[in-house]
Amino acid sequence: MPNLINRDPPGRLSCIHAFLRSIKYRFGTNSFTGEEAKHKVGGKDNSIDYCTCAKEYSPETALVTGDKKYCPFLRAGSSKSYCYLINSNLLDTQKSKAVGEAIQALEALGLCTRTLNSLKRLRYANLTSAGIEISKYTFFEQQVRAYYNQEIVNYGPIVGFLHFLDMGKGSVLKHSEISRYMGRPNNYDKVTLSTGDEVILNDGDARDARTRTTGALQAWLTYAGYISPTLGKISGTVDSFFETDRYYCNPRNKLGYSKIFLNKSKVRQFFGNMPFVKRPLSYDFFVKGAGAAREYSQRSLSGVQLENLALKEYGSKVRNRRLLLMFSFSLASMQGRGLNLRMLARHSNFRNSPFVVDPDTHEKILLESEADFLIIAGAPFIRSVDNFEVIYPRTKIDIDMLRKENPYLTSSLEKIVSNRMIFV
């Protein structure tokens, strides 16, 4: 299952599709690494060869540069990146975040699977059967449009985005009203480290990361016709798919445009039959990576080290706590019932519980801030009007898939949810 997209260039869906086609023609069904997937200077079948946003050099300039096309989001003829989405192999091999995020976007859309190392970073990836099939077609062909329109809304964070849109007032929202929620929540658990230091656990995403995520997902929903940068222009038709791409291929237009016009009826129709979400956020990424602590740039080096140590020592318990929420949510949705978060907190707060960070605050955090994690993961809910501690699922999640996320916890999870007081 996928990670949370943390850069906005993957929001240009035509660039992602060009990347997919490049991978198909370069690697076929074979595995590929992030470094191998970059733009290969002097090579064939690069992303830019298939990208609808790419610009063509004049014949005279092409003779000088040796390239026929250039990326409009980079300085033509002088950038060693060549492609803004994935960068080139001329750059330092350590600078692979761009291509890594592009591969994550392919996984979020069901087009590839990633194999990770012990640090949860990419080792290699393979295209799925869907990825192989869709790569046969150009971006504007009907098969491609149909696939993306269907699969965009099977990515958990997109479902969360749609929920926030649906809960907003009116049919026009500001980008900033959504971006504040588009990240893993920070619960500010107080923890004591093995060093004896008492720190606040920063397990949530920073503001700039949330802004980047919002920009990428906002673009995907624009392609799918749920939202638009202008009133009444984009509505999910064939013409609007083309219009959206033309809009985003213009470097002057931001992926996360400031004013969002909603196709309110389409958003509500999506939630009408409690949709099944195929690709919710993965257990491995329920907590941000330790390396992401560099985002807290105003703190001293020792402070950053302590934050990383806190994530290392307590991150697994936060992930387990969130898995408990997802597992209970899935069971409640399948049974068509509500979930009592206070009862869930009380029955999971036992001695040496793998789901508890701080026994004294476990109930309060699970009931309040931690519940918001469900939304960004693809499991949005409605709070009961009469009882704040009861939530009602708006989507369905495969519980068997959740069992496989951490098999060592399955028996503990099953025991907790067997208590009838948890469901209403």
- Considering the domain architecture, whether residues 173 and 134 belong to the same structural domain is answered as no
Conformation bin of residue 378: beta by default, left when phi > 0, alpha when psi is -120 to 50: left
Total domains in the chain come to 2
Q: Which of 87, 85, 80, 92 is nearest to 38 (CA)?
A: 87
Let me know if residue 233 belongs to a domain. no
**Helices and strands (H, E) in the chain, number of each type:** 17, 14
pLDDT, average across residues 299-316: 76
Res 373: pLDDT: 96
Let me know if residue 407 belongs to a domain. yes
Let me know if residue 89 belongs to a domain. yes
Q: How far apart, in whole angstroms, are the C-alpha atoms of residue 74 and residue 148? A: 26
H or E element in which residue 317 lies: helix 301-335
Which among 88, 110, 138 is the end of a domain?
138
- Considering the domain architecture, whether residues 179 and 308 belong to the same structural domain is answered as yes
- Considering the domain architecture, whether residues 88 and 59 belong to the same structural domain is answered as yes
Average pLDDT of the chain is 90
Listed range (65-79, 348-362, 373-387) with the worst mean pLDDT: 65-79
Q: How far apart, in whole angstroms, are the C-alpha atoms of residue 326 and residue 334? A: 12
Let me know if residue 223 belongs to a domain. no
Confidence of residue 15 (pLDDT cuts 50, 70, 90): very high
- The percent of residues in the chain predicted with pLDDT above 70, rounded, is 92
- Considering the domain architecture, whether residues 33 and 96 belong to the same structural domain is answered as yes
> What's phi and psi for 149, nearest 5 deg?
-60, -35
- Considering the domain architecture, whether residues 329 and 408 belong to the same structural domain is answered as yes
Q: Which of 153, 141, 189, 162 is nearest to 315 (CA)?
A: 189
pLDDT, average across residues 180-196: 89
- Considering the domain architecture, whether residues 173 and 46 belong to the same structural domain is answered as no
Q: Are 274 and 333 in contact (CB under 8 A)?
A: yes
Which among 138, 172, 201 is the end of a domain?
138
Q: Which residue range is the domain that position 290 belongs to?
A: 156-213+275-422
Confidence of residue 73 (pLDDT cuts 50, 70, 90): very high
Let me know if residue 261 belongs to a domain. no
The yes-or-no verdict on residue 157 having pLDDT over 80 is yes
- Other CB atoms within 10 A of residue 362 CB: 20
Instruction: List Cβ neighbours of 55 (8 Å cut-off, separation of 6 or more).
Output: 69, 70, 71, 72, 76
Let me know if residue 207 belongs to a domain. yes
- Considering the domain architecture, whether residues 353 and 279 belong to the same structural domain is answered as yes
- Considering the domain architecture, whether residues 176 and 36 belong to the same structural domain is answered as no
Let me know if residue 235 belongs to a domain. no
Let me know if residue 413 belongs to a domain. yes
> What's phi and psi for 410, nearest 5 deg?
-55, -45
Res 231: pLDDT: 66
365: its two tokens: 């955090």
Listed range (72-81, 103-112, 214-223, 316-325) with the worst mean pLDDT: 72-81
In 147-291, the DSSP E strands lie at 172-174, 189-192, 198-201, 227-228, 259-262, 276-277
pLDDT, average across residues 29-44: 93
Q: How far apart, in whole angstroms, are the C-alpha atoms of residue 107 and residue 1? A: 8
- Considering the domain architecture, whether residues 89 and 172 belong to the same structural domain is answered as no
- Considering the domain architecture, whether residues 191 and 88 belong to the same structural domain is answered as no
- Considering the domain architecture, whether residues 56 and 189 belong to the same structural domain is answered as no
- Considering the domain architecture, whether residues 163 and 287 belong to the same structural domain is answered as yes
Report which DSSP code applies to 55. Answer: E
Which among 108, 138, 168 is the end of a domain?
138
Q: How far is CA 356 from CA 362, 373, 410, in A?
A: 6, 16, 16
